[in-house]
Amino acid sequence: MTVCRLSGDAQPRLQGRETMIELRKVSKSFETRGRSVKALDTINLSVREHEFVALVGPSGCGKSTVLNMLAGLMDPSAGEVTYRGERVSGANRRVGYMTQKDTLLPWRTVEDNIRIALELRCRSSEAGERGARLREIIDLVGLNGFEKHYPSEISGGMRKRAALARMLIYEPETLLLDEPFGALDAQLKIIMQRELLRITRVRNMTVVFVTHDLAEAVTLADRVCVFSGRPGRIRAEREVLAAEPRDVVGMRFTPEFGALAEDLWNELKDDVGKELTT
């Protein structure tokens, strides 16, 4: 795999880390109305502990399907998905999954939605501690003043942030994020990226992050995987080495960053829009 060094003093972060997640020769087909659609074709992917992997690729290439299989919500048609060496079958409770479509409960306020993870998981934690954690996380995603609103009363970007807060509050060891910042404005996006990096580093979380934004992928990830169009395959992988802690704004202005983004774009461009022309 090609290693791209974004700054001279960048050190590998993950040496000696064990494999956390592995997809071995995974294919996935869907049957819809008698027709079989092949979404993924023989994917091999492994993610190490504490690693931050970004998946990019044209729409419909199976990125969300990969996350669904990691979460145990879908089974592969062929091949094997393992988590910490064990085959994933049924809901994988060690991961936190922020889906492409937000899954907030419409009858609960923002605050009650974020709190639900604590109701389910940390049954033993004290009310006072929960309250403090809740305020801290609402602060972090910038939803102060909207705690008592219902999901139908806030914007799409705010719903995304609420979903993110709901996931971060219970600190799962692995995060699966499906275009979490797609609906945010540029400035907020940068703030959220910075916070996500900070939290995942502090908590030593493993992250699989789907995005359409190449700059975002390079900024955040230790490794970027480029998918081809349907049926999805992994077409290229780039390891990104950058000085820690990463400066999510500053690093964009280096020539190395631009070169890597361009390189990824070259891998991607043949497939993007292919569906439109054929």
CA 170 to chain centroid = 16
Query: Which residues in the 67-96 window bind another protein by CB under 8 A?
Result: 71, 73, 91-93, 95-96
- Span interacting with another protein, options 30-38, 42-50, 97-105, 190-198, rule CB under 8 A: 97-105
Beta bridge partners of 79: none
- Enter the tokens of residue 123: 């049954």
**Cis peptide bond prior to 58, omega within 30° of 0:** no
Q: Which candidate, 210, 232, 228, places its Cα nearest to that of 220? A: 210
Q: Is 109 in the site for ligand ATP (CB under 6 A)?
A: no
> What order do you get walking across the sheet with 223-227 strand by strand?
2-5, 234-241, 223-227, 52-56, 206-210, 174-178, 95-98
Contact residue for ligand ATP among 50, 161, 230, 238 (CB under 6 A) = 230
Q: Which positions ≥6 away from 126 have C-beta within 8 Å?
A: none
DSSP letter string over 171-211?
--SEEEEESTTTTS-HHHHHHHHHHHHHHHHHTT-EEEEE-
Residues in contact with another protein, total (CB under 8 A)?
21
User: What does the chain come to in residues?
Assistant: 278
- Span interacting with ligand ATP, options 59-67, 75-83, 143-151, 160-168, rule CB under 6 A: 59-67
- Span interacting with ligand ATP, options 14-22, 62-70, 183-191, 256-264, rule CB under 6 A: 62-70
Contact residue for ligand ATP among 64, 113, 174, 200 (CB under 6 A) = 64
- Span interacting with Mg ion, options 97-105, 148-156, 217-225, 263-271, rule CB under 5 A: 97-105
Q: Is 64 in the site for Mg ion (CB under 5 A)?
A: yes
Least distance in angstroms from the C-beta of 8 to ligand ATP? 35
User: DSSP state, 102?
Assistant: -
Residue 88: exposure state from Cβ atoms within 10 A (0-12, 13-18, ≥19): buried
Compute the Cα dihedral for 177, 237, 226, 184 and give only its sign.
positive
107 is in the binding site of which of Mg ion, ligand ATP, another protein, none (Cβ under 5 to 8 A by kind)?
A: another protein
Task: Identify which of residues 70 and 192 has a Cβ nearer to another protein in the complex.
Answer: 70
Footprint on this chain of Mg ion (rule: CB under 5 A): 64, 100
Footprint on this chain of ligand ATP (rule: CB under 6 A): 30, 32, 37, 39, 57, 59-65, 100, 230
Footprint on this chain of another protein (rule: CB under 8 A): 71, 73, 91-93, 95-97, 99, 101, 103, 105-107, 116-117, 119-121, 152, 170
